[in-house]
A and B are shown apart, each in its own frame.
Chain A
């Protein structure tokens, strides 16, 4: 859908998704700060438009591999908020029964096949899923989400080469937030445009404003048209802003106050809501209602996660290996 043809329903759906992700991430931020959540946390605050725009262009049975900063994509793909929250709280009711946590939320029931704690490592998994789809003659696509940091890993280039060579039904979706952990693009990449680097493999590529969910959606739709037609993989580079640190608690000494201000000015929720109001697609009361719905859904999910039981320590050795006696 071209960005200029604003469809109110689609736009409000995108905003609603972004609001839920934001409310969820803020709740996780607060509960992590209050030490209710163990481990470490990477929030996607500022990058919600990418998750919302991408997921809105996918079918429910398309497959998705995401990153350590993956809560937003998992939620946007339709995962149950309660089970996502329960996983982050380390509870048995979590999608991964508390074995994965924030960095590893997989929700197979909605096609999220993995979230990876090793930068770049999930890329070939998505390509492998795409290869299986190709071999099995299925119509779905596989999507790998990754950041600008991953483009410097060898496995990105190995995967891009194979995907292009085998014309796999794969979408490579780069969230270029300008930082590989604490290191800015200018210090980590000889060529700052991921789209340009994709050209080496002749991947059709789109470079879009990742703060605009409609732009992301439009680019992904266009890219997927080719991918679904069997024309091989494509890449969409979304230029986005990380409004928080690499991890919660990151003092971000590597970012100047003016840069942080500039980042805040790129808040995708505010920008998109303003635009919808400007175009008379959203009233203030509608926006307030969507925000309230998001907060309510998130509060319910967090309460569920807090009250849920921890896994039984006696189950710690389950699922190390698949045992043939197991059902399913």
Chain B
């Protein structure tokens, strides 16, 4: 086991899967010779050639469309869409095309397609480069959406996404790209639809996703010093949601805080809360509480951004709230 940076874990996942299966190929703006805007594809064009690691024009919609056609003929394309905000440019191809291709053709099409994209957290990227838009995607049947919270997850989930025969959107987090953590040396793949318990606890369950898993862990650590024991769940997948893991945790804690960096309004947390309200209401001793961004664009200036995008202090406050009799 060695420590590896998140972006390195992504790079290894791509490299291993390209070694393993000649059908895997990469497409995207700057993914080839430049090695990716964040270095995720560094060295891959040298290794696998310009045909399999292809720089594209800034034509996101066509590039995702290209990947759809190529996947239909048996390639396993991995497209990089540089910022999650730019998914707005490819929504027709994702929503009306990729998500429906198998269904609409009555099962004739199989679409092993991955879209890698990334969002960030409190890094002054401004209104058009910092959104967490996963809820747009989770509303659409036919797409899977995962959000790796660290290097281990980044590698294991991306490898699983590439091997999956459905369109999978992998939302990485650029703020974590430089973070180094232990990643197994041996090959591993993480299931796309399973959440993981990152820290066990008795009093409150914090279900979180993406970078907010790290804030939730920090909050749990701080609360532990005050004798409050939190169970932290990394949902990993925004769609499908692993309700069972959260439910099992609630059988123990009876209290739930949900944390994501996306805006609370219509977010993945809203779906999780509603689903558990329907199916596990009797397990709850307190109202489900959500932590998410305020309903505003993400501002540039650091104090403004901190006012909009929540962190561990908001999670701590939410935990205190659900514990208040």
**A residues bordering B, Cβ < 8 Å?**
63, 65, 94-100, 104, 106, 108, 113-114, 116-118, 121, 123-136, 142, 154-155, 158-159, 161-162, 165-166, 318-322, 324, 326
Count of B interface residues, CB-CB < 8 Å = 43
Which listed residue (B56, B61, B75, B108) contacts A96, Cβ 8 A? B108
Residue of B nearest to A87 (CB): B106
Knowing A124-B66, A162-B62, A322-B166, the reply to whether A113 touches B104 (Cβ < 8 A) is no
Measured CA separation A159–B62 after assembly (Å): 6
A129 to B70, CA, bound (A): 5
Instruction: Determine the distance from Cα of A106 to Cα of B106 in the docked complex, in whole angstroms.
Output: 9
Measured CA separation A104–B71 after assembly (Å): 18
Q: A128–B106 contact, CB under 8 A?
A: no
Residues of A within 8 A of B97 (CB): 116, 118, 121, 125
Complex interface: chain A residues within 8 A of B144 (CB):
321
The answer to whether B59 touches A158 (Cβ under 8 A) is: yes
Residue of A nearest to B58 (CB): A158
The answer to whether B102 touches A322, judged by C-beta atoms less than 8 angstroms apart, is yes
Nearest residue, chain A, Cβ from B110: A322
Q: How far is the CA of A154 from the CA of B144 in the complex (A)?
A: 27
> What residue in chain B is nearest A126 (Cβ atoms)?
B69
A104 touches B166 (CB 8 A): no
Contact indicator A162/B61 (Cβ below 8 Å): no
Residue pairs across A and B with Cβ atoms less than 8 A apart, 28 shown, are A65-B69, A95-B105, A96-B104, A96-B108, A97-B107, A100-B106, A106-B108, A114-B72, A114-B101, A118-B96, A118-B97, A121-B93, A121-B96, A124-B65, A124-B69, A125-B97, A127-B62, A128-B72, A128-B77, A130-B69, A131-B69, A135-B52, A142-B69, A162-B59, A162-B62, A162-B63, A166-B54, A321-B142
Contact residues of B between 73 and 101, Cβ < 8 Å to A: 73-75, 77, 92-93, 96-97, 101
Indicate whether A162 sits within 8 Å of B56 (C-beta atoms), given known contacts A127-B65, A128-B68, A136-B73. Answer: yes
Complex Cα distance, B105 from A133, in Å, reads 21
Min CB distance A125 to B, Å, is 4
Q: Which residue of A lies closest to B103 (CB)?
A: A319
CA distance A327 to B94 in the complex (A): 26
Cα of A320 to Cα of B142 in the assembled complex, Å: 5
Decide if B108 touches A95 in the complex (CB within 8 Å): yes
Complex Cα distance, B114 from A87, in Å, reads: 30
Given contacts A114-B101, A125-B65, A322-B102, 4 further A-B pairs with CB under 8 A are A124-B93, A128-B66, A128-B68, A322-B166
| Beta-carbon nearest neighbor of A161 in chain B | B57
A113 & B61 in contact (Cβ 8 Å cutoff): no
Query: Is there an interface contact between A99 and B65, defined as CB atoms closer than 8 Å?
Result: no
B261 to chain A, nearest CB (A): 27
Would A128 and B110 count as touching, CB distance under 8 A? no
**In the docked arrangement, what's the CA distance between A85 and B284, Å?**
53
B109 within 8 A of A: yes
Decide: B59 and A128 in contact? CB cutoff 8 A: no
> Is the beta-carbon distance between A132 and B73 smaller than 8 angstroms?
yes
In the complex, which residues of chain A have a beta carbon less than 8 angstroms from the beta carbon of B54? 166
B259 CB–A CB distance under 8 Å: no
Query: Do A318 and B107 touch across chains, with their CB atoms under 8 A apart?
Result: yes
CB within 8 Å of A: which B133-174 residues: 141-142, 144, 165-166
> By the criterion CB–CB under 8 Å, are B103 and A99 in contact?
yes
B62 / chain A contacts, CB cutoff of 8 Å: 123-124, 127, 155, 158-159, 162
Cα distance, A320 to B104, chains bound together (Å): 9
- Chain B residues whose C-beta falls within 8 Å of the C-beta of A161 in the assembled complex: 57, 59
